[in-house]
Structure 1
Amino acid sequence: MTVTTPAALSGVAPANPRSRVIVASLVGTTIEFYDFYVYATAAVLVFPHLFFPPGNETTALLASFAIFGAAMIARPLGAIFFGHLGDKRGRKNTLVGALLTMGIATFLIGLLPTYETAGWLAPALLVVMRLAQGFALGGEWSGAALVATENAPPKKRAIYGTFPQLGAPIGFIIANGLFLLIAAALPSDDPSKPSAAFLEWGWRIPFLFSAVMVIVGLWVRLSLVESTAFEKTVRTGNVQKIPLATVFRTHWKELVLGTFYMLATYVLFYLMTTFSLSYGRAATNAPLPGLGYDYTTFVLMMIIGVVFFGIFTLISGPFADKLGRRKTLIWVTLAIIVFGLVWTPMLAAGTVGVMAWLILGFTLMGMTFGPMGALLPELFPANIRYTGSGISYNVSSILGAAVAPFIAVALWSTGGGSPFWVGIYLSAMAGLTLISLLLGKETKDIDIEK
């Protein structure tokens, strides 16, 4: 089926102003990542206390992380669904649909009953909402990356590709900043646990607040027009009947490489955001000992680290445009391997060492995450780009993000509270990414409209 648009009939696609491209790609992913981080924070602070039977704290934490990981399984399905729409119907409306799905699911989490009032129905509903979040994020990232890169000026695709990536650190800061404000307004007598008021109703506020952010994101997204690359695909009659089948038939190697390109990024991302929050807050004398920081102190330390995440996400763009995506990422991945090997001495060096660990980890996160906004879309031609880049990005979420917090807790427990094996796990996954980069090719000089 061929899609016809006004621009395709005239033979000329209208251009999106550069400021609109930057804002649309940034605002949408900021909201999507905000929603995701709100859940990630609640998975550590709230859900083990409220959505599972009382008794074993470690089991409840693992169950909470398992539901957290369940969303990653839904992400490839979302990538296929929204990718199909994005490659056949256009980027704009598809992005609006993904944003609405995520926003509604997040808002409804804020209204869910707890285990005390609804029994096992509570975690079951939480799983459903979490799957909806993952399904939506599966279509969000690739669409935002395409809006940025397909509308970028020549030789600046990697720079523009960093703007949707910047939504991750900004979303983290907004989500955790809001949790900090609520925790400060509802203080606890026990710094290792949220207050009764926080657990009763305070935790719901960040989820309900997502509705306001979604309205802002929709207003920006609805002002977009389709990119020249998609309009050219329509005009030339090159829209694929089943983009998924075409991707697997003609670009399966790129799918595999793109999946492993993202592996180290995902593992590092979720270790530094989700696992670190559990490890940082766990008491030094707990059955599963950690660093013993109170929630407010450690989250403030994390936010400082995330500022470096944002700065180096932007810095990575010029590097990737000048040196190439592949060369930049090879060096960064080597640094991630080394970083995983030095976790134990860094975390044993007191607050200075922990702060250095957070800053270095988030700096590397920015340098590896930033170039992906250009690299993954560049692996695929315009008529299957939404589907191909989305599948690579989101299948990697299963191999990396879905299991990373769960494996990390298991290794943390096996090591008797030591983070040594968690760091080794990161280095091993980065080694797989390094191999894939060495097998891949440079993409910075491709024609994005083909």
Structure 2
Amino acid sequence: MSDTLAPTEAPATTQRLTAGRVFAVSGMGTALEFYDFIIYGMAAALVFPAVFFPTADPLVGTLVAFLAFGVGFIARPLGAVVFGHFGDRVGRKPVLVLTLLIMGTSTFLIGCLPTYAAVGALAPVLLVVLRLVQGFAAGGEWGGSSLFGVENAPENRRGFWGSFTSTGIGLGSLAGSFVFLVLGLIPGLSLAAGAWRIAFWLGGALVVVGLIARTRMPDEKIDTKSAPRVPLLAAIKRKPKQMLLAIGVSFGYNTIAYIGSIFTITYALDRGYSDTESLVFQIVGGAAFMLAAPVMGFLSDRVGRKWLVAGGAVAYALFFFAYLGIVDSMVLVAAIVANILCNVFMAMPQGTIPAFLGEQFSQEFRYSSISTTYQIGAALGGGTAAPIATALLLGFHGDSLGVALYSTFACVVIALCALGLRETSKVPTAQLGA
């Protein structure tokens, strides 16, 4: 990452930035965010049904644990509205520092929670409360991280620099999966007996790394006097079509992302793979996603955004049917390769989405717009994906067809909404949102 941004190309900041420095702020911060979410999703599939919901049937307990996972998404749109407002009115830096601090604290406290055996129903209640707090902070995280890369990039690198946030998603997924794998392999440690707590404590401690990078962010010059009093209302008034289509893109993408990264753990376990094998799937998938996302962002600067997003959605939909069949074959090497391809196709839209959605809106209400639309879509799609997929698996008596059809529906939504948005890869930064 050797691109260097000249001062004349960076209206949002007063300091010279390199791609590596931008990645430390946007990519690493988002990596820590998604580490938090991935370890919860894995704990929900592997541990929490027994620790917090022990009275239910194992698969039903998993469904309830995923519902608790989805609760965090309820708070995300509210967090997007609140943090997006202050991100537009006050600046990106203080908001990004605060969201990361809240998320890290919540993650650490989840690791400290008492179990159902110790305090009864209070344990899952406390878990849900912390998920709500975590989700509220996450609502302002993704949009700000994405915009820090897009708004500070050279004209011909917005897709690539914006993809650092997507790269962070893969890095966080990889780290979370790796930590759970290591904890499961250490002799004398048992995930169900309490080793799962280490993953959450480690996530809380790692937030310090992100905070150091963000407190050293360059100060921004935000003209609050000319900004709308309520940026979100201004965006709704001026860009209603773009707001709705952006929600659709986010809904579809978050649906396939959380089915592909969270539900597939439960699916692999249900088909007979071991805990270790299912975690290996996630590790190789996270690595593939992390490497593919910046490539897709780079390509979007060359060939355009909308067709890459739409094409990636179609490719994912077609492949996902084969993916489930390959996993059902119980051939470990084939299942690993299938996970790699699944994550590459998933990275096609995600590596492009930060720049593609951010470029649809003017700077004065861009943080509010991208955060609110993305998080509404995340709540509708990501928050319900794993529970709906698990319920479909139950409803189809273990047949994966229902899950595949639901993923296809989400991909169709992505493609149609992306094609309805403006192609922005060649639009000058100063004219974005015009």
TM-score (norm: length of structure 1): 0.89
The corresponding residue for 1:171 is 172
The corresponding residue for 2:4 is none
Alignment partners' CA distance in 2, 1:245 and 1:68: 30
Whether 2:400 is the aligned partner of 1:419: answer yes
Alignment partners' CA distance in 2, 1:349 and 1:293: 11
Equivalent of 2:377 in 380, 383, 396? 396
The corresponding residue for 1:287 is none
The answer (yes or no) to whether the contact 2:164–2:294 under 8 Å persists in 1 is yes
Code of the residue aligned with 1:411 in structure 2: it is: L
Whether 2:142 is the aligned partner of 1:161: answer no
Whether 2:311 is the aligned partner of 1:310: answer no
Structure 2: gaps of 5 or more residues: 1-6
The answer (yes or no) to whether the contact 1:339–1:427 under 8 Å persists in 2 is no
Deviations 1:289-330 (A, max 9, x none): x2x111112211321122211121011012100111012112
Q: How many angstroms does 1:12 deviate by?
A: 9.3
**Change beyond 3 A, Cα 1:302–1:324:** same
Equivalent of 2:345 in 351, 364, 373? 364
**SS state at 1:219 partner:** helix
The answer (yes or no) to whether the contact 1:146–1:386 under 8 Å persists in 2 is yes
Whether 2:27 is the aligned partner of 1:26: answer yes
Alignment partners' CA distance in 2, 1:53 and 1:332: 40
Q: Which consecutive segments of 4 or more residues in structure 1 shift more than 6 A?
A: none
Alignment partners' CA distance in 1, 2:135 and 2:178: 23
Structure 1: gaps of 5 or more residues: 1-6, 188-194, 283-289
Code of the residue aligned with 1:35 in structure 2: it is: D
The corresponding residue for 1:183 is 184
Deviations 1:177-222 (A, max 9, x none): 11111111146xxxxxxx7x43232111111112321111111101
Alignment partners' CA distance in 1, 2:222 and 2:231: 16
Code of the residue aligned with 1:382 in structure 2: it is: Q
The answer (yes or no) to whether the contact 1:326–1:442 under 8 Å persists in 2 is yes
The answer (yes or no) to whether the contact 2:268–2:327 under 8 Å persists in 1 is no
Alignment partners' CA distance in 2, 1:400 and 1:13: 34
The corresponding residue for 1:36 is 37
Alignment partners' CA distance in 2, 1:128 and 1:118: 15
**SS state at 2:39 partner:** helix
The corresponding residue for 1:342 is 322
Deviations 1:2-28 (A, max 9, x none): xxxxx9xxx995124213212111111
Code of the residue aligned with 1:15 in structure 2: it is: Q
Equivalent of 1:406 in 377, 387, 396? 387
Alignment partners' CA distance in 1, 2:89 and 2:378: 24
Alignment partners' CA distance in 2, 1:133 and 1:386: 19
**SS state at 1:181 partner:** helix
The corresponding residue for 1:136 is 137
Deviations 1:147-199 (A, max 9, x none): 10111011110000111111111111111111111111146xxxxxxx7x432
Whether 2:300 is the aligned partner of 1:320: answer yes
Equivalent of 1:275 in 247, 254, 263? 263
The corresponding residue for 1:98 is 99
The answer (yes or no) to whether the contact 1:261–1:436 under 8 Å persists in 2 is yes
**SS state at 1:403 partner:** helix
Alignment partners' CA distance in 2, 1:173 and 1:335: 23
Alignment partners' CA distance in 2, 1:253 and 1:310: 31
Deviations 1:23-54 (A, max 9, x none): 11111111111111111111111111111242
Q: Larger deviation: 120-129 or 45-54?
A: 45-54
Q: How many angstroms does 1:55 deviate by?
A: 4.0
Identity %: 33
Alignment partners' CA distance in 1, 2:88 and 2:241: 20
**SS state at 1:155 partner:** helix
The corresponding residue for 1:376 is 357
Q: How many angstroms does 1:343 deviate by?
A: 4.1
Alignment partners' CA distance in 2, 1:108 and 1:281: 28
Alignment partners' CA distance in 2, 1:143 and 1:204: 29
Alignment partners' CA distance in 2, 1:449 and 1:83: 21
Deviations 1:405-437 (A, max 9, x none): 111111111222121211111011111121112
The corresponding residue for 1:66 is 67
Aligned pairs for 1:79-228 within 5 A = 79-186=80-187, 197-227=190-220
The answer (yes or no) to whether the contact 1:342–1:423 under 8 Å persists in 2 is no
The answer (yes or no) to whether the contact 2:300–2:352 under 8 Å persists in 1 is yes
Alignment partners' CA distance in 2, 1:117 and 1:61: 20
Q: How many angstroms does 1:345 deviate by?
A: 3.4
Alignment partners' CA distance in 1, 2:75 and 2:14: 34
Whether 2:239 is the aligned partner of 1:251: answer yes
Code of the residue aligned with 2:425 in structure 1: it is: K
Alignment partners' CA distance in 2, 1:127 and 1:275: 19
Q: Larger deviation: 392-401 or 260-269?
A: 260-269
**SS state at 2:180 partner:** helix
Code of the residue aligned with 1:317 in structure 2: it is: G
Code of the residue aligned with 2:73 in structure 1: it is: M
Deviations 1:93-112 (A, max 9, x none): 00000001100110110111
**Change beyond 3 A, Cα 1:184–1:348:** closer
The answer (yes or no) to whether the contact 2:248–2:377 under 8 Å persists in 1 is yes
Alignment partners' CA distance in 1, 2:136 and 2:349: 24
**SS state at 2:341 partner:** helix
The answer (yes or no) to whether the contact 1:343–1:423 under 8 Å persists in 2 is no
Code of the residue aligned with 1:424 in structure 2: it is: L
Deviations 1:111-167 (A, max 9, x none): 111111111111111001001111111101100011101110111100001111111
**SS state at 1:342 partner:** helix
**SS state at 1:156 partner:** helix
Alignment partners' CA distance in 1, 2:83 and 2:384: 24
Deviations 1:50-106 (A, max 9, x none): 112424222211110001011111111110011011000100000000001100110
TM-score (norm: length of structure 2): 0.92
Aligned pairs for 1:437-448 within 5 A = 437-448=418-429
**SS state at 2:14 partner:** coil
Q: How many angstroms does 1:344 deviate by?
A: 4.5
**Change beyond 3 A, Cα 1:278–1:13:** closer
**Change beyond 3 A, Cα 1:390–1:13:** closer
